[in-house]
């Protein structure tokens, strides 16, 4: 042992401190104690997590605003259509158009919400879980690299049509079903001639002399075939924000 090593040993003996272990060695884990994670790193990540939570809450509120606009507009149009018999049923075409525009806007907002929600879920799964479990071995993986890349070059995590499918599944599918039901009910209640069969129903679709029946039938059928196909496709292929509790509910004791 040289003089420098002897001096280090004497200092350790005098102060009671030991030389920090090399990378890969964790004496706390070897002795059965919970491993320690760098406090500065935990503090920085906690603030980062809090900021991302604030972002997704802001975008979540914007989603609620768009849905409220769609519901309010549809309620107003349905009320006017059933209150006045002279109002033509083509009014529901404008209802579909307005709701479609709001759905497009909400799908765009949902893509931003989903992008920030993906960061939050990454932090919860790969950072908070090791903290709660007090096991820093769970911090292994490329999640830190993925988060850094997303911070440098933010990107959407889902496509535009998948966002539309998710919003249809959550809210707008029910809204379109309500509009369809109201449109058909309006036809039967305020038709100029009684509707007794399919030809009479087709004739009732005509509005005045300028809008033929085939155009109304095309818009009505095409819109709701699109809605049904989007619901059927993304309803089975798109994962939701949160899963059902199911059989694991008994494991959650409060």
Residue 148 lies in a domain: yes
The number of C-alpha atoms within 13 Å of 237 and in the hemisphere containing its C-beta is 12
Question: According to DSSP H, which parts of 124-212 are helical?
Answer: 129-133, 143-152, 160-167, 173-189, 198-204
Residue 18 lies in a domain: no
- Tokens linked to 172: 């707008």
- Which pLDDT score is estimated for 223? 86
- Which pLDDT score is estimated for 107? 94
Structural domain of residue 177, as residue ranges? 35-238
* Contacts for 35 with CB less than 8 Å, ≥ 6 apart: 26, 28, 29, 134, 135, 136, 137
Residue 28 lies in a domain: no
Residue 143 lies in a domain: yes
Residue 244 lies in a domain: no
> What is the total residue count of the chain?
254
C-alpha distances in Å from residue 92, one per residue of 82, 98, 176, 181, 219: 11, 10, 11, 11, 11
Residue 253 lies in a domain: no
Neighbours of 157 (CB within 10 A): 14
- Which pLDDT score is estimated for 2? 47
Residue 17 lies in a domain: no
**Rounded Cα distance, 151 and 156, in Å:** 12
- Which pLDDT score is estimated for 67? 93
Residue 157 lies in a domain: yes
The total number of structural domains that make up the chain: 1
Taking a C-beta distance cutoff of 8 angstroms, is the pair 231, 175 a contact? Answer: no
Mark the ranges of the chain whose per-residue pLDDT is less than 50: 2-35
């Amino acid at each position: 042992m040289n003089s420098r090593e002897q001096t280090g040993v004497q200092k350790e003996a005098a102060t009671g401190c030991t030389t920090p272990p090399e990378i890969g060695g964790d004496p706390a884990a070897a002795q059965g104690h919970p491993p320690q994670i760098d406090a500065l790193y935990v503090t920085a990540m906690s603030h980062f997590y809090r900021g991302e939570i604030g972002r997704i809450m802001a975008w979540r509120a914007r989603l609620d605003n768009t849905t409220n606009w769609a519901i309010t507009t549809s309620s107003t149009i349905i009320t006017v259509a059933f209150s006045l018999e002279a109002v033509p049923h083509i009014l529901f075409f404008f209802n579909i158009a307005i709701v479609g525009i709001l759905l497009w806007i909400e799908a765009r907002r949902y893509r931003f919400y989903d992008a920030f929600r993906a960061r939050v879920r990454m932090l919860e799964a790969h950072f908070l879980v090791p903290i709660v479990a007090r096991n820093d071995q769970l911090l292994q993986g490329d999640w830190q690299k993925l988060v850094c890349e997303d911070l440098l070059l933010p990107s959407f995590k889902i496509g535009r049509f998948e966002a539309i499918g998710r919003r249809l599944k959550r809210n707008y599918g029910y809204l379109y079903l309500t509009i369809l039901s109201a449109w058909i009910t309006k036809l039967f209640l305020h038709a100029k001639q009684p509707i007794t069969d399919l030809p009479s129903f087709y004739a009732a679709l005509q509005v005045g002399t300028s809008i033929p029946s085939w155009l109304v039938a095309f818009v009505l059928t095409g819109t709701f075939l699109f809605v049904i196909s989007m619901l059927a496709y993304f309803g089975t292929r798109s994962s939701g924000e949160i899963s059902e509790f199911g059989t694991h509910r008994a494991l959650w004791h409060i």
